[in-house]
Amino acid sequence: MVRYITVKLLYMLFTLFILATATFFLMKVIPGNPFLGEKKLPTQIYNNIMEKYGFDQPLYKQYLKYMNNLIHFDLGTSMKSTHLTVNKIIHSSFSNSAKLGIAAIIVSIIAGIGLGIISALYHGKVIDHFTSILAVIGVSIPSFVIGPLLQYFLGVKLGWFHVAGLKGPLDYIMPTITLSALPIAFIARLTRSNMIEVMNAEFIKTAKSKGLAKSFIIYHHALRNAILPVVTYLGPMTANIITGSVVVEAIFGIAGLGKYFIDSVTNRDYTLIMGVTLFYAAILMIMRFCTDVAYVFVDPRIKLSGREGNA
């Protein structure tokens, strides 16, 4: 177990290192910088700024400095809001994104598994077809379509919710629906097909022949096996929610990390772009790592080894 976790952690650090190096050099490849913008700065001021950000140094020195800062969790200073460090921006904006993201993850898991089980138990009945259609719609309609439509119908036409902002608990409803539509659909499909497969397995037939109660069979035999694979979806789901949050925060005017990322991209604020990219990647990798470890705990059949399966 220790070996397994250590190897995984080392790979994670290695991936982050590669990503940091790649983004660093990508940013250097782009001609110009944010200070060569609209108005031309006096040469003296321009040189001072270059010095402040260390751009006057040779490339390898800049790289080493950047890496050294990274090791100390210092992501540098924003190039647009020069009084703010990237750490501060992430620190102040991430709480909004995290609240929304966690709400979306909880809703997706509960609703997705619930819908999946219901449609598997009523396999082939009307309710199954209904949830299947719902799931396909959830997969196919992009978040930037769901969001504005919700705003139009629930916010403007019916007036149930505020169109934008994140002031009261009710304001979480529309962004959360927008964010969780895709994961709900995925989890529901996954749970449904697993549940149908498990319900046809020999051991369920045995349990039925023994005369066990239906509810007992569903909870103790079927469900456990059917929702196992949902754990593996946790990693991709985080990726989906990160992607979604970028759009959702723009649509609903929420000052979260996604909004800062878009701002940083449109402003070409390179330090902020690099910082947020690394931060997002780190979150995603940590989630994937937790998924891998959790899976070992929930499924005792998986043998521990430092290497991944070579199926």
Partner 1 sequence: MASNTRDSLQAHSSSLEWRDDIFRPDDFEDIDVYRSPGPDLQRESISAWRDAWLRLKSNRMAMFWLTILLIIVIMSIVGPLLTPYDYYTNDLMNTNKPPSAEHWFGTDDLGRDMFERVWMGATISLRVGLFAALIDLFIGVIYGGIMGYFGGRVDEIMNRAAEILYSIPHILIIILLVVIMTPSLFTIVLALGLTGWVNMAWIVRGQIMQLKNMDYVMASRSLGASSARIIFRHLIPNTLGPILVTLMLTVPSAIFAEAFLSFLGLGVQSPAASWGTMISDARSAMTVFPWRLFFPAAFISLTMLAFNLFGDGLRDAFDPKMRK
Give 147-152 contacts, CB < 8 A, sequence gap 24+: 147/174, 147/175, 147/178, 147/247, 147/248, 147/251, 147/252, 148/251, 150/174, 150/177, 150/178, 151/251, 151/252
Shortest Å, Cβ 152 to partner 1: 5
Q: Are 184 and 108 in contact (CB under 8 A)?
A: yes
Shortest Å, Cβ 47 to partner 1: 25
Six-digit token pair at 87? 């750490």
Shortest Å, Cβ 123 to partner 1: 10
Q: Is 258 helix (H, G, I), strand (E, B) or coil?
A: helix
Nearer to partner 1, 96 or 264 (CB): 264
Shortest Å, Cβ 14 to partner 1: 8
Nearer to partner 1, 51 or 94 (CB): 94
Shortest Å, Cβ 48 to partner 1: 26
Q: Count of CB atoms within 10 A of residue 108's CB?
A: 28
Nearer to partner 1, 26 or 201 (CB): 26
Nearer to partner 1, 110 or 118 (CB): 118
Nearer to partner 1, 67 or 213 (CB): 213
Six-digit token pair at 104? 């979306």
Shortest Å, Cβ 136 to partner 1: 6
Shortest Å, Cβ 62 to partner 1: 18
Reference 251, options 112, 155, 187, 158; nearest CA is 155
Nearer to partner 1, 231 or 250 (CB): 250
Radius of gyration of the chain (CA): 24
Q: What is the distance between the alpha carbons of residues 257 and 25, in angstroms, rounded to a whole number?
A: 23
Nearer to partner 1, 54 or 142 (CB): 142
Q: What is the distance between the alpha carbons of residues 161 and 207, in angstroms, rounded to a whole number?
A: 48
Reference 135, options 120, 163, 152, 116; nearest CA is 116
- Interface contacts to partner 1, rule CB under 8 A: 11, 14-15, 18-19, 23, 26, 29-30, 136-137, 139-142, 144-145, 148-149, 151-152, 156, 205, 208-209, 214, 239, 242-243, 246-247, 250-251, 261-262, 265-266, 268, 273, 277, 280-281, 284-285, 288, 311
